Structure 1
Amino acid sequence: MTQPQGSLEGKVALITGASSGIGAAAARVFAREGARVVLVARREARLKELSAELRAGGAQASYSAGDVQDSGDVEQAVAHAVETYGRLDVAFNNAGAGGELGPLHLLEDATYDLVMDTNVRGVWNCLRHQIRAMTHGGSIVNTSSVAGLVASSVPAPYIAAKHAVIGLTKAAAVECAADGIRVNAIAPGLTRSEMVEDWLARVPGQEARSKASAPQNRMAAPEEVAEAAAWLCSDRSSFVTGATLPVDGGRTAW
């Protein structure tokens, strides 16, 4: 009997925010599913370590350190993927920033700028360069959040940014459909990551309240969210574009 192929077998995938959390989990999941992965984040040492781990496990993996706020860094990462592996088939735009906690009227401009420039301009930069490189079609998944669907306890700039990610996703999906490029978003709920852990540590009792806000009453492992992104990136979701998939333990069902 032949072994079944992975859902991303033979595809070249670029993953941003790959140094930790959902992005690092996606690197492992995508590689397991057969993709050749290019990892992008600001922390080069972590990218080097993770790509070495993936290669030791038999995957093809490389990295391009950079900040998605910088269009030139994104262009360089996309060029690296094409030059190294010959094409770009898949992109998971996961890099994000949470910013400071507090009511919007007390937040400084610097917080708003960081959150919007990373979460919105970052996706904008990624989409432009990735779409240009996907000359044979492809699939792009952007990380939004349940905060992109409903208001929650997170700061207002983050909620605004994640709503904007969904808007960019829909616009790109419509524009690119004729070129064979699908564009979707995921909306993770409470997920164990550096950003979430930092938020919870600063607000006593918030973890229990956040867990109780969803029917499953727990926090997701990053791998659970990465699995949803891998499905949307694969040909198994071939008739899905312009959609936002909640991965939230039922949070937005209530």
Structure 2
Amino acid sequence: MLLQDKVAVVYGGGGAIGGAVARVYAREGARVFLAGPTEAKLAAVAGEIGAAAETDVVDALDEDAVEAHTDGVVARAGRIDVCVNAVGIQNGAQGKPLAEMSADEFGAPIRDYPRVNFTTARAAARHMTAAGTGVIIGLSSPMARTATALTGSFTMASAAVELLLRQLAAELGPAGVRAVCLRLTGIPETARSLGSSTEATWRDAADRLGVSFEQMLEAVGAGSPLGRPLTVREVAEVAAFVASDRAGALTATVVNVTGGAILD
């Protein structure tokens, strides 16, 4: 198994993507700590996993809460080998031109998305550097590389997260810690059946653009040479490989998990 006896923390572990990552990590032998704001969602994922999962209610924007949480995980498990941030942040006024946004609408994703990744990465890094090993994983979007009209400031927020992880890799590498970003395209499945926080964003965007919600999801999932949308299971499988020792040469990089929708 790829992650036998690893200790993994998944922030956003009750969400569509975080939950999928947690389930695959547990299947691959990891002990998984699920963290997020909603106990019921965390408990639902943990119930599917079984004894290998534990849950903690944590607001990942609260740096003191995150620091206390990571200290608690280390107290229970002895270490943290993998830290994944799959926290869903309100990603701005999608479908609205920048010239029509308020400064607050524009600034919120840029403020919150890098912040939530910074708080979790910093807390994990303290323990990982002391142990001389560890992997920090974050998520971004294609807009980090390709400017797309009407995607709000999530473009800049995603780019900031990618640069954050690259810089962390440069600073933490000498201590044996890797940092990798997974760049994902839109996953309609998360809004259709998995209750992702992106559903509200995409519904609002559909209203602004004058299209149906289903048309919006079709557009979100289009563009892959595979001829189908990305799935959360596929993301989770890549996240398991990246977290494993087999990916020991991967750091300071962005892994293209778009199904070819964005070409490298």
Q: Does the Cα contact within 8 Å between 2:92 and 2:152 map onto a contact in 1?
A: no
Aligned to 1:69: 61
**Which residue in 2 is equivalent to 1:3?**
none
Distance 1:235 1:26 in 2: 17
RMSD over aligned Cα, in angstroms? 1.8
Question: 2: CA distance between counterparts of 1:217 and 1:112?
Answer: 33
Match of 1:189 in 2: 185
| Deviation of 1:113 (Å) | 4.5
Q: Say yes or no: does 1:24 pair with 2:19.
A: yes
Instruction: Give me the TM-score of the superposition, normalised by structure 2.
Output: 0.87
> Who is 2:88 aligned against?
96
Q: Is the 8 A contact 1:16 1:40 kept in 2?
A: yes
- SS state of the match for residue 34, structure 1? coil
Q: Is the 8 A contact 1:189 1:246 kept in 2?
A: no
Comparing 59-68 and 127-136, the one that deviates more: 59-68
The aligned runs of 1:152-231 (5 Å cut-off) are 152=148, 155-191=151-187, 192-193=189-190, 194-202=196-204, 203=206, 204=211, 205-231=215-241
Shift of residue 208, structure 1, vs aligned partner: 2.8
- Structure 1-normalised TM-score? 0.90
Shift in CA distance, 162/244, structure 1 to aligned 2, threshold 3 Å: same
- Partners of 1:25 and 1:89 lie apart in 2 by 18
CA distance in 1, matches of 2:139, 2:17: 10
- Are the aligned partners of 1:69 and 1:117 in contact in 2 as well (CA < 8 Å)? no
Structure 1 residues 185-235: Cα deviation after superposition (integer angstroms, max 9, x where no partner): 000112132244334434122233333323223222211111111111111
Q: Which amino acid aligns with 1:116?
A: I
Moved more, 168-177 or 75-84: 75-84
Shift of 1:252: 1.1
CA distance in 1, matches of 2:174, 2:117: 21
Identify the residue that residue 193 of structure 2 maps to in structure 1: none
Aligned to 1:129: 123
Secondary structure of the residue aligned to 2:233 is helix
What residue number does 2:262 align with?
252
Distance in 2, Cα, partners of 1:180 & 1:72: 25
SS of the aligned residue for 1:212 comes to coil
Question: Do the aligned partners of residues 157 and 39 (structure 1) sit closer, same or farther apart at CA in structure 2, a change above 3 Å counting?
Answer: same
Point out where structure 1 has 5 or more consecutive residues left out of the alignment: 1-5
CA pair 120-238 structure 1, distance change in 2 beyond 3 A = same
Give 1:154 shift: 5.6
**Aligned-pair CA distance for 1:83:** 1.3
Quick one: which amino acid aligns to residue 236 of structure 1?
R
Runs of 4+ aligned structure 1 residues displaced above 3 Å come to 108-114, 195-202
CA separation in 2, counterparts of 1:51 and 1:110?
A: 36
| Counterpart position of 1:54 | 49
Q: 2:114 matched to which residue of 1?
A: 120
Task: Mark the CA change 1:61 to 1:18 in structure 2 (over 3 Å): closer, same or farther.
Answer: same
Separation in structure 2 between the aligned mates of residue 251 and residue 154 of structure 1, nearest angstrom: 18
Give the Cα separation in 1 of the matches to 2:248 and 2:237. Answer: 16
